[in-house]
Amino acid sequence: MVRALFPKSRARRAFLRAVGGATALGAIAQFFPLGLVKEVFAAAAPEKKNLKVGFIPITCATPIIMAHPMGFYAKHGLNVEVVKTAGWAVIRDKTLNKEYDAAHMLSPMPLAITLGAGANPIPYTMPAVENINGQAITLAIKHKDKRDPKTWKGFRFAVPFDYSMHNYLLRYYVAEHGLDPDTDIQIRAVPPPEMVANLRAENIDGFLGPDPFNQRAVYDGVGFIHLLSKELWDGHPCCAFAASKEFVTTMPNTYAALLKAIIDATAFAAKQENRKAIAGAIAPANYLNQPETVLEQILTGTYADGLGNVRTDPRRIDFDPFPWDSFAIWILTQMKRWGQIKGDVDYASIAKEVYLATDTAKLMQEVGLTPPLGASKTFKVMGKEFDPSKPEEYIKGFAIKRAA
Amino acid sequence: MRSAAAPIRSGCIDMLSSLTLRAALVSLALLGTFLALWHIATLGSGPVVKMDPQYAKLMGAAAAQGKSAMPTPADVGAKIWQHMQNPFYDRGTNDKGLGIQLAYSIARVGAGYLLAVAIAVPAGFLIGMSPLMHRALDPFIQVLKPISPLAWMPLALYTIKDSSISAIFVIFVCSLWPMLINTAFGVASVRREWLNVAKTLEMPAWRTAWRVILPAAAPTILTGMRISIGIAWLVIVAAEMLVGGTGIGYFVWNEWNNLSIANVITAILFIGLVGMALDQLMACLQRFVSYAD
C-alpha cells in the first residue's frame, strides 16, 4: 500500500526512514481509508500460483521446508514445490536461469551475486533471513584434547561455500586466536553431507558447518561439538530466502504472498513449543532425510555433545526473519577483509538494495510480529563491538587481514 | 566287463563337466565367499564407550552400541526387499520410488543416446567413406574424446541454462565417440571385392551405402553402440548426482545425505542390473545382424 502511494522505492524508503514506520502509517491514515486499502491489498491475487523454491537439505532452511508439509504456502494461496538441490553452486545456477522462482541461499550469496563476485552480476534481493545461530565447530573425536585453537596449526577445516557465514566466522575465530586462516590452517569448501564422511575418513580435522551435520557427526560417533556458532556471535544470520530483483518487481503479489508464507512459518518456528512437531514434519526422505532424533536435538536444543555430556541450549538455532542492514555491512567488511571484493565499497547502499528490510517489516506486521523500528543495530562478535556506520575502521582494526 | 554303475557314473560326469554348470557353480561359490566375508567384517564392534543412559538415547547405534557403520548383508537384503515391494511410490517432489527414479534415468539415457546414434552413424559413414574427411576430422575427435562428462557439465549448465537438457547433452557428447569411431572403422573395412562388385554394377553411392556397406559394417557399428550404451548409463548417474532432481543418481545422492549406506548399496546394485540389461539388449541386436564371413 505504501508502495502504491510512493511507487519510487528510493522516495518511499526515504520517507519511511525519515518518519519511521508507525508515524508514516499515522500520517497516511489521516488522508486514506487504511482499513479498506489493507483489505484490498491483502486480497490481491498472486500472478503465478505454482512456484518452485529450491533448498539445500540442512536445518537452516527449516522455515522454507516446513511451510510445505505444515500448510503455510497453501494458507497464503500458493502451490509451492520445494525442490531439494545438490549444492550451493547448482542452486545459484538454477535460480539464475529461472528454473527456481526463489531459493534458499547463504546470507552472503545475494550480495555476492549482485556484486558479480564468483558469478554474473545480477541484482538479487534477500527479503528474509531464514535462521540465526544454528551452526557449530565440530572436531574429530581424536582431537578431544586439542580444544585450544592455538594448537590448530596445520589443521584442515571444511566450510560449505566460500561466500558463507561459516567461512567468515571460522576465519574470524582463528584470527582472534592469532592464526592466519590462509597460511596456518587449510579451509576447503566441502558439501555438508560429505563433511561427516570426510571427518570419519580423516580427510579433515574439523568443520564449521550447518546442522544437521554437526549433530549427525556426534550421533555416528565420529566427532564432537567444540563450539556452537551462537557462542561466537549470538544472533548471527546464516541462511536466507533470496529472489531476483526481477521476480520482486515483475510479480509483486506473488512475491508478497511467498514472503508472507515464509515469515509466517519463521514466526511459528521461533516458538519453542512447536519445535518438536517441526522436527517430525521435516525428517522424512522428501525433506531433510535424517533420523528424527537428530533433528529434535538440534531444534529443541537438548543435545548430546559427543564427549559424554547432555547440553541444553534452547537458542542453539533460532528463527528471526528480519534482514538487518548491519548484517549485510558486516558480511561486506569480512568479504573485503579477506580479499573477496576489492576496491571501495558503498556498504550502506548495497545493504539497502539487497536486504529488503522495509518490505519484511511490513509483512512481519501483517502476520502479527513486531518488526524493529530501524534497519541498523550494533552487535558484538566474540566480544568486539561492530558499529555499522564505521565499516572501514572496523576492517582496519584487525591484525590479520588480506585487504591492504 | 563294465559294471552297471559305470554308465550312471559316466552320465553324471558328463553333466558335471558341462562348462555352463561348472561356471555357475564357481560364480555361486565366489558370491557366497564374498557375502560371508562381508558379514564377518560387519559383525565386529567398534570401541564401546561407557555412556549415561540418557546420553545413549540421543546417540545412534554406531556410537552407543559399537555397531558397525557399514551395513551387514542382511540389512542390505532387507532394504532391497523393501524397495522391490513398493517401487513406484511417490511421496513428494524429492522422494519417489526406485522404479520411478530408474525410469527417469532410462528416459534421459534414451534421449541422449538416440540423439548420439542419429549423429554418429551418418558422420561415421562420412568419415569411413572419405579418407579426406577422416584425416580432417581426426584431430578434433582425438581431442574431444577423452573429456570427462563431469567436465562438460558446468559448461552445459552455463550455456544451455536448463538442467535436464544439460544432462541429455552431456550423455550425447560422451556416448558419441565410440559409435563414431567404430562406424568409421566398420565402413572403411568393408571388403574391397564387394565394393568392386557394386562399382561394376554401377550402383549409385547412396545405394551402395545402404545395400552393401551398411549390412557389411553392421556388426562393427553395433559393437560401437554397445560400448556407447554402457558409457551413457555410467554418465547419467554422475550427471544426476551433480544436477539433482530426479533419477537414480539423485537417489544415490539423497541417500548419501542421510549417510544411509544400505540404500546407497541397493541403488548401486540396481544401477548394475539395469546396465547389464541394456547391454544384453544391444547384444541381442548384435546377434541379429552378425554374419559368418
pLDDT tens digits for range A253-310: 998 899 889 988 998 998 889 999 999 999 988 888 888 999 999 999 888 888 888 8
Which residue type does A303 have?
Y
Q: B55–A304: do the CB atoms touch at under 8 Å?
A: yes
Residue of A nearest to B64 (CA): A221
Identify the pLDDT of residue B73.
Answer: 87
Element (H, E) at A334: helix A325-337
Residue of B nearest to A298 (CA): B58
Higher-scoring residue by pLDDT: A7, B293: B293
Which residue type does A362 have?
K
Element (H, E) at B253: helix B248-257
Stretch A48-55: mean pLDDT: 90
- Residue B41 pLDDT grade (very low, low, confident, very high; cuts 50, 70, 90): confident
List of chain B residues whose C-beta atoms are within 8 Å of the C-beta of residue A83: 93-94, 245
Q: Locate the domains of chain B by residue range.
A: 5-70, 98-289
The C-alpha cell at B203 is 550402383
Per the CB < 8 A criterion, the answer to whether A368 and A301 are in contact is: no
- Residue A26 pLDDT grade (very low, low, confident, very high; cuts 50, 70, 90): very low
φ, ψ of residue B209 in degrees (nearest 5):
-60, -45
Identify the pLDDT of residue A41.
Answer: 45
Which residue type does A73 have?
Y
pTM (whole model) above 0.90:
no
Q: A308–B257: do the CB atoms touch at under 8 Å?
A: no
Distance from chain centroid for Cα A367: 20
> What Rg do the C-alpha atoms of chain A give, in angstroms?
21
List of chain A residues whose C-beta atoms are within 8 Å of the C-beta of residue B55: 304, 308-310
Stretch B37-57: mean pLDDT: 76
Residue of B nearest to A97 (CA): B161
For chain A positions 44-83, those within 8 Å of chain B (CB to CB) are 57, 81-83
For each of the domains in chain A, give its residue range(s) and CATH number, in order of start.
Answer: 2-42 (no CATH), 135-236 (3.40.190.10)
pLDDT at A6 > cutoff 70 = no
Average pLDDT score, chain B: 86
Identify the pLDDT of residue A126.
Answer: 86
CATH number of the structural domain B98-289: 1.10.3720.10
Q: Nearest CB to A220: which of B91, B163, B259?
A: B259
Task: Judge whether A167 is closer than 8 Å to chain B, CB to CB.
Answer: no
Identify the bridge partners of residue A129 per DSSP, sorted by sequence position: A240
- For A292-296, B134-138, B244-248, which range has the lowest pLDDT when averaged over its residues? B244-248
Give the whole-angstrom CA distance, residue A166 versus residue B196: 73
Q: A304–B162: do the CB atoms touch at under 8 Å?
A: no
Question: Closest Cα to residue A159, out of A238, A93, A102?
Answer: A238
pLDDT over 70 percentage in chain A: 88
Task: Judge whether A367 is closer than 8 Å to chain B, CB to CB.
Answer: no
pLDDT at B182 > cutoff 80 = yes
Q: Residue for cell digits 558499529?
A: A387
> What Rg do the C-alpha atoms of chain B give, in angstroms?
26
Residue of B nearest to A141 (CA): B63
Q: A83–B242: do the CB atoms touch at under 8 Å?
A: no
Which residue type does B135 have?
R
- Residue B148 pLDDT grade (very low, low, confident, very high; cuts 50, 70, 90): confident
Distance from chain centroid for Cα B17: 32
Identify the bridge partners of residue A243 per DSSP, sorted by sequence position: A125
Q: B157–A216: do the CB atoms touch at under 8 Å?
A: no
Q: Nearest CB to B51: which of A220, A284, A308?
A: A308
- Residue A12 pLDDT grade (very low, low, confident, very high; cuts 50, 70, 90): low
Higher-scoring residue by pLDDT: A117, A361: A361
Q: B259–A289: do the CB atoms touch at under 8 Å?
A: no
Give the number of other CB atoms < 10 A from CB of residue A202.
11
The C-alpha cell at A216 is 549427525
Give the whole-angstrom CA distance, residue A347 versus residue A335: 11
DSSP 8-state symbol, A148: S
Identify the bridge partners of residue A128 per DSSP, sorted by sequence position: A241
Identify the pLDDT of residue A45.
Answer: 80
- Residue A29 pLDDT grade (very low, low, confident, very high; cuts 50, 70, 90): very low
Strands A102-106 and A50-55: parallel
Which residue type does B224 have?
G
Q: For an interface test with B, give the residue of A81, A84, A100, A122 to mutate (most B CBs within 10 A).
A: A84
- Residue B255 pLDDT grade (very low, low, confident, very high; cuts 50, 70, 90): confident
Stretch B226-246: mean pLDDT: 88
Residue of B nearest to A82 (CA): B93
Task: Judge whether A200 is closer than 8 Å to chain B, CB to CB.
Answer: yes
- SS in 3 state form for B208-260? HHHHHHHHHHHHHHHHHHHHHHHHHHHHHHHHHHHHCCCCHHHHHHHHHHCCC
pLDDT at B149 > cutoff 70 = yes
Diameter over CA atoms, chain A: 69
Identify the pLDDT of residue A157.
Answer: 94
Q: A309–B55: do the CB atoms touch at under 8 Å?
A: yes
Residue of B nearest to A81 (CA): B93
Average pLDDT score, chain A: 83
Stretch A112-132: mean pLDDT: 82
Q: For an interface test with A, give the residue of B246, B259, B264, B266 to mutate (most A CBs within 10 A).
A: B259
Identify the pLDDT of residue B9.
Answer: 57
